[in-house]
């Protein structure tokens, strides 16, 4: 999900931006550049849909295509090429023995491991085909529950990963959570109680086409693989959900070449439609969507910097999750309203789930904290540690879903509405559920 932290209002006067044809099928590699923030604002680059990585020490970092690089030259934007600091060939954490993607899952590897889990735990796990991507790949879910083959109408939690193709670690945390529940069901009473009382739906790979492209062609690819009308590729599927879709051209872009292109209509993409159909078909009580990077827990709203209904409860829940994560090995995750704590987005998963389903919904941006610490390139050795530090927060939210009452009918535009969260957070993070 990572782009850049919010930028101040652009200067009124700047040189004209020259948009050259970008990202045709054979033109999808790029460079990383850094631009002085004043220069960035003077040229109004924050509105041009660049693939922003971070803002640090007065400079903005972005991945730019060859066409965008030429456009920067044409507009006389002063920038520094810093590709060698961050580009994949400088990463040493991917093993040759594991293939191009090392210990990380490809689409086929994820399907294979899902089916192995279902085979080894036939009473508890079932592989569900949610839909098909643009290039014909199946989008899979793993349903976990006692009596998994039956529809018992139990409360459910939805765990999503990899809306953005290059965020490989966001596949692994949901997958490992599913494996953990199944492997610990027999011996851990708390896990058994959770699985017996609820449904856990794991969808680690929402964007299979994009992931395969990052493995085989271009590691920094973000979007899906939609061939757009102008010859560019990709829709940002985390801008393609219907709530606040196209609210402005900062939180998403109408330009197909942009890395935050929202698509031609809400749910225009089969990947988002698959999530939508699943979300509306079950009694979900909480949603969590994994991304990288930044180490921050985000909650609505993302489309506007204003409090959502039940803002204080969402803040308390995010704080509890951050505390649970920090307790494992001291990793600090920030937390806050998405538009304020990271940047504005519109048409994203979490705003849609919160507004449409009326349930708590969170984005967790996984480690590292910034590009200098690895960005999208987590070392293989860090996969298990990142999962382990996130496990208590996942169990907390899944437990919330299992024990919460059904939400009232969502009233997205009613700022006075409040979600009926079933507990209060007391000082010290203790939970008062009235029992």
- Residue where a domain stops, chosen among 38, 55, 86: 86
Judge if 306 and 184 occupy the same domain: yes
Judge if 65 and 118 occupy the same domain: no
In the prediction, which pLDDT does 47 show?
Answer: 62
- Check whether 13 has a pLDDT greater than 90: no
* Strand residues in 233-348 grouped as ranges (E): 284-292, 296-299, 334-337
Which structural domain range is residue 399 located in?
Answer: 101-432
Judge if 61 and 207 occupy the same domain: no
Average pLDDT over residues 263-272: 98
In the prediction, which pLDDT does 63 show?
Answer: 79
In the prediction, which pLDDT does 21 show?
Answer: 30
Name which residue leads in pLDDT, 171 or 31. Answer: 171
Judge if 112 and 141 occupy the same domain: yes
Alpha carbons 281 and 156: distance in angstroms, whole number: 11
Q: Provide the 10 A C-beta neighbour count for residue 237.
A: 31
For residue 1, being part of any structural domain is answered with yes
Average pLDDT over residues 307-334: 95
Name which residue leads in pLDDT, 52 or 401. Answer: 401
- Check whether 54 has a pLDDT greater than 90: no
Residue 418 phi, psi dihedral angles, 5° rounding: -130, 135
Judge if 172 and 132 occupy the same domain: yes
Residue 382 phi, psi dihedral angles, 5° rounding: -90, -10
pLDDT digits (tens, 9 = 90+) for 187-243: 999 999 999 999 999 999 999 999 999 888 888 899 999 999 999 999 999 999 999
Mean pLDDT of the chain: 82
Judge if 338 and 363 occupy the same domain: yes
- Residue where a domain stops, chosen among 39, 62, 86: 86
Residue 336 phi, psi dihedral angles, 5° rounding: 170, 180
Alpha carbons 126 and 124: distance in angstroms, whole number: 7
Q: Provide the 10 A C-beta neighbour count for residue 180.
A: 17
For residue 165, what is the domain's CATH number? 3.40.630.10
Judge if 75 and 107 occupy the same domain: no
Judge if 401 and 347 occupy the same domain: yes
Nearest to 343 by CA among 363, 326, 324, 360: 363
In the prediction, which pLDDT does 24 show?
Answer: 33
In the prediction, which pLDDT does 28 show?
Answer: 54
For residue 92, being part of any structural domain is answered with no
Name which residue leads in pLDDT, 431 or 240. Answer: 240
Residue 50 phi, psi dihedral angles, 5° rounding: -65, 155
In the prediction, which pLDDT does 151 show?
Answer: 87
Q: In sequence order, what are the residues at sequence separation of 6 or more whose Cβ sits closer than 8 angstroms to the Cβ of residue 28?
A: 65, 217, 218, 221, 233
Judge if 124 and 169 occupy the same domain: yes
Name which residue leads in pLDDT, 91 or 163. Answer: 163
Candidates 255, 271, 365, 389; catalytic one: 365
For residue 139, being part of any structural domain is answered with yes
Are residues 145 and 199 in contact, defined by beta-carbon separation less than 8 angstroms?
yes
- Among 62-66, 213-217, 294-298, whose mean pLDDT is lowest? 62-66
pLDDT digits (tens, 9 = 90+) for 93-112: 444 344 567 788 999 999 99
Question: What b-and-e string marks burial along 59-70, b requiring 16 or more CB atoms within 10 Å of the CB?
Answer: bbbbbbbebbbe
Name which residue leads in pLDDT, 206 or 83. Answer: 206
- Check whether 26 has a pLDDT greater than 50: no
Judge if 62 and 128 occupy the same domain: no
Question: What b-and-e string marks burial along 353-378, b requiring 16 or more CB atoms within 10 Å of the CB?
Answer: bbbbbbbbbbbbbbbbbbbeebbbbb
Judge if 161 and 74 occupy the same domain: no
For residue 202, being part of any structural domain is answered with yes
Average pLDDT over residues 340-358: 92
For residue 383, being part of any structural domain is answered with yes
The encoded tokens of residue 227 equal: 């061939």
In the prediction, which pLDDT does 416 show?
Answer: 30
Name which residue leads in pLDDT, 8 or 210. Answer: 210
Structural domain count, the chain: 2
For residue 165, being part of any structural domain is answered with yes
- Among 139-143, 262-266, 293-297, whose mean pLDDT is lowest? 293-297
For residue 36, name the pLDDT band (cuts at 50, 70, 90). Answer: confident
In the prediction, which pLDDT does 109 show?
Answer: 93
Q: Provide the 10 A C-beta neighbour count for residue 198.
A: 24
- Among 93-102, 104-113, 286-295, 343-352, whose mean pLDDT is lowest? 93-102
pLDDT digits (tens, 9 = 90+) for 149-199: 888 889 999 999 999 999 999 999 999 999 999 999 999 999 999 999 999
Regarding beta strands 334-337 and 431-432, do their DSSP bridges make them parallel or antiparallel, or are they unpaired? unpaired
Judge if 186 and 276 occupy the same domain: yes
For residue 287, being part of any structural domain is answered with yes
376 torsion bin: left (phi>0), alpha (psi -120 to 50), beta (else): alpha
Measure Cα distances from 43 to 35, 77, 383 in Å: 11, 7, 39
Average pLDDT over residues 128-137: 96
Residue that is written with structure tokens 């967790």 in the block: 364
The three-class DSSP label of residue 70 is helix
Q: In sequence order, what are the residues at sequence separation of 6 or more whose Cβ sits closer than 8 angstroms to the Cβ of residue 250?
A: 46, 47, 344
In the prediction, which pLDDT does 370 show?
Answer: 66
In the prediction, which pLDDT does 419 show?
Answer: 43
In the prediction, which pLDDT does 1 show?
Answer: 62
Judge whether 199 counts as a catalytic residue: no
Considering the entire predicted model, what is its pTM? Answer: 0.79
For residue 362, being part of any structural domain is answered with yes
Are residues 262 and 252 in contact, defined by beta-carbon separation less than 8 angstroms?
yes
- Among 90-94, 334-338, 347-351, whose mean pLDDT is lowest? 90-94
Q: Give percent above pLDDT 90 in the chain.
A: 58
Average pLDDT over residues 413-433: 37
- Residue where a domain stops, chosen among 35, 55, 86: 86
The encoded tokens of residue 245 equal: 């879709």
């Amino acid at each position: 999900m990572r782009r850049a932290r919010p930028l101040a209002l652009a200067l009124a006067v700047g040189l004209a931006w020259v948009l050259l044809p970008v990202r045709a099928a054979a033109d999808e590699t790029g460079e990383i550049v850094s631009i002085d923030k004043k220069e960035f604002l003077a040229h109004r680059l924050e509105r041009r849909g660049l693939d922003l990585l971070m803002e640090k020490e007065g400079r903005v970092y972005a991945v730019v295509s060859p066409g965008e690089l030429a456009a920067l030259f044409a507009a006389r934007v002063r920038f520094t090429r810093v590709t060698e600091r961050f580009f994949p060939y400088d990463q040493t954490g991917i093993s040759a023995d594991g293939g191009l993607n090392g210990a990380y899952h490809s689409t086929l590897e994820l399907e294979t491991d899902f089916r192995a889990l279902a085979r080894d735990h036939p009473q508890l796990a079932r592989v569900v085909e949610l839909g098909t991507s643009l290039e014909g790949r199946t989008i899979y879910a793993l349903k976990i529950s006692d009596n998994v083959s039956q529809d018992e109408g139990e409360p459910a939690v939805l765990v999503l990963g990899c809306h953005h193709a290059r965020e490989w670690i966001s596949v692994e945390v949901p997958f490992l959570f599913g494996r953990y529940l199944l492997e610990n069901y027999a011996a851990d009473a708390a896990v058994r109680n959770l699985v017996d009382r609820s449904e856990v739906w794991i969808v680690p790979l929402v964007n299979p086409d994009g992931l395969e492209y990052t493995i085989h062609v271009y590691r920094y690819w973000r979007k899906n693989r939609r061939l757009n009308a102008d010859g560019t590729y990709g829709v940002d599927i985390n801008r393609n959900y219907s709530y606040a879709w196209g609210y402005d051209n900062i939180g998403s872009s109408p330009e197909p070449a942009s890395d935050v292109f929202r698509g031609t209509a809400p749910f225009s993409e089969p990947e988002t439609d698959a999530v939508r159909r699943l979300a509306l078909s079950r009694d979900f009580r909480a949603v969590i969507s994994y991304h990288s990077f930044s180490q921050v827990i985000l909650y609505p709203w993302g489309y506007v910097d204003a409090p959502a209904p039940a803002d204080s409860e969402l803040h308390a829940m995010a704080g509890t999750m951050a505390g649970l994560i920090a307790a494992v090995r001291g990793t600090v995750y920030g937390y806050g309203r998405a538009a304020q704590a990271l940047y504005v987005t519109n048409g994203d998963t979490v705003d849609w789930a919160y507004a449409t389903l009326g349930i708590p919904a969170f984005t967790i941006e996984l480690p590292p904290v910034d590009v200098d610490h690895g960005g999208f390139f987590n070392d293989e050795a860090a996969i298990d540690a990142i999962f382990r530090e996130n496990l208590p927060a996942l169990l907390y939210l899944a437990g919330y879903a299992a024990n919460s009452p059904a939400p009232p009918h969502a009233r997205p535009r009613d700022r006075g509405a409040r979600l009926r969260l079933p507990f209060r957070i007391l000082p010290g993070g203790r939970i008062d559920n009235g029992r």
